[in-house]
Structure 1
C-alpha cells in the first residue's frame, strides 16, 4: 500500500469508516503487518488476510465491515479508478436485468414455440429496451432520493460514488445465471430481487452514513419505480 494518497483515494477502516493512511506495511513478499486505525484502535482492515469465500459470506450476511472493505479498499470507490468500474458495472447490471426479464417472460413465451426468427429478434430487442429503460428510471429515482430524501449536497463526484456503490452491491444478480444450468421456480427471481434490495440499502448506508429507514425508503422507491417500468408493457398488451 502506497503512502501519500489523496483524500479521495485514501483507504478506510472497516470498523469505524474513518480514513487511514495505509492498511498494511509489507516487509517482504508474504510478510505484512496490518495497521491499526487511529480512531477506533482496531485493525483497519482484517479482510486483507481473508480468503475470498470468507469475504463473500460476510457480504451475503450484510456485514457493513465487509461492504466497507469491498467498496473503499478493494473497488476504491471515490478514487480516479471508479469511473471505469461504474460503466462496466452498469453494463453488467443491464445485461443481468435483461436476462431476468427474459426468464420472467419465459413462461408465456414457451406457450408459443413456433416463433419466427424475426419475432425472436424483436423479443430480444424488447427485453433489452425494457431493461435499459428500467435502469434509467432506477438510477434517476435513486439519485433524486439521495438528493431530496437524504438531502445529500449536490456533488457530481459524491453522486457517482453512491451510484457505483449501489450498482456494485447488486452483485447477487449474478446468481440468476445459475438458471441457465438448473431449473428454479419463478419465486427464486423474487428472492434474488429482495436480497439485492437489502444489499443496496447496506451499501447506501455505508456510503452516506444516513439512518437505515431513510436508505430503505430511497432504495425501495427506486426498485418499485423500476419494477413498474418493466411491468408496464405487459399490462398494456
Structure 2
C-alpha cells in the first residue's frame, strides 16, 4: 500500500523528511495542502482516543501509514491479530455460554469438553461467515484502491479495527451482565464500518450495511449452532 494523507486520503510518497535524529519535517499533501500525517508527532494515547471516536484520519494513519507493508513494522501483525481476534471471540462465546448454563460443581469433564467443541465451532464458523460475506460484498459493491491487496490488507484492516474486543478482558475482573457483550459487538461493528470506509473510500451507509449484514450472518450462524448442539 502507498502512504496516504490522513486528511483526504491522497497518495503521498513520503510522510516526513529526517534531517537528524529527532529532527524531522512533516510533509504536506499535494492535494489538500495540509500536513499529511500529524499523528507521527502525536502520543499513542491521542491516536487511541481518535480511534475510539471513529475519526477516519486515525484509521488512515493506522492502516496505511503505520501498518504499511513497505515499512516492515507489520511483519507478523496479521497472524498475531488473527490469533488475538480468535482468542477474544472464543472468550466472548464462553461468557455467553456461562450466562446460559452457568458454572457449577455438576460440570463433568465430558460436559466441559462438549462446551469447548461448541465454542470452537461457533468461533470458526461464525467468523467464516463474517469474513466471507465482507469479502464478497467488497468485490461486488465496492472499489478497492490500486495497490491494495484485497485479501491480506482487507483482513488485516478488519482484524485491527476489532480492537474493541479487548474490552471483554475487563469482564475477567469486574462482573457485568451478558448484555455488555452485545454492546461491545456494536462497537466492533461500527469500528469495522469505519475501517471499511477508509480502505474502500465508499459511503458510510454502504459500509454500515455491509458490516451489519456480515455481523448478522455471524450472529445467526452462532444461534444455528446452538440449536444443532442442543
Note the aligned Cα RMSD (angstroms): 2.3
Corresponding residue for 2:7? Answer: 15
Please show how residues 72-111 of structure 1 align to structure 2 within 5 Å.
72-76=64-68, 84-110=76-102
Instruction: Tell me the CA shift for residue 88 of structure 1.
Output: 2.5
Instruction: Tell me the CA shift for residue 112 of structure 1.
Output: 4.4
Corresponding residue for 1:4? Answer: none
- Name which of 36, 42, 45 aligns with 1:44: 36
Structure 1 distance, partners of 2:171, 2:70, is: 34
Unaligned runs of 5+ in 2: none
The DSSP-based 3-state class of the residue aligned with 1:41 is coil
Q: Does the C-alpha gap of structure 1 residues 151 and 40 become closer, same or farther in structure 2, counting only changes over 3 Å?
A: closer
Aligned residues: 229
After alignment, is 47-56 or 160-169 more displaced?
Answer: 160-169
Corresponding residue for 2:135? Answer: 143
Unaligned runs of 5+ in 1: 1-7
Structure 2 distance, partners of 1:98, 1:24, is: 41
Structure 1 distance, partners of 2:57, 2:85, is: 24
Structure 2 distance, partners of 1:79, 1:36, is: 20
Corresponding residue for 1:120? Answer: 112
Instruction: Tell me the CA shift for residue 128 of structure 1.
Output: 1.7
Corresponding residue for 2:27? Answer: 35
Corresponding residue for 2:209? Answer: 217
Structure 1 distance, partners of 2:20, 2:144, is: 43
Structure 2 distance, partners of 1:156, 1:26, is: 27
Q: Which runs of 4+ in 1 moved over 3 A?
A: 77-84
Instruction: Tell me the CA shift for residue 168 of structure 1.
Output: 1.1
Q: Cα deviation per residue 1:58-110 (whole Å; 9 max; x = unaligned)?
A: 00000001000011111116888767433322222111111001001112332
Q: Cα deviation per residue 1:34-58 (whole Å; 9 max; x = unaligned)?
A: 1111111111100011111111010
Asked if 1 retains the 8 angstrom alpha-carbon contact of 2:193 and 2:208, the reply is: yes
Query: Are residues 1:185 and 2:187 paired?
Result: no
Asked if 1 retains the 8 angstrom alpha-carbon contact of 2:51 and 2:58, the reply is: yes
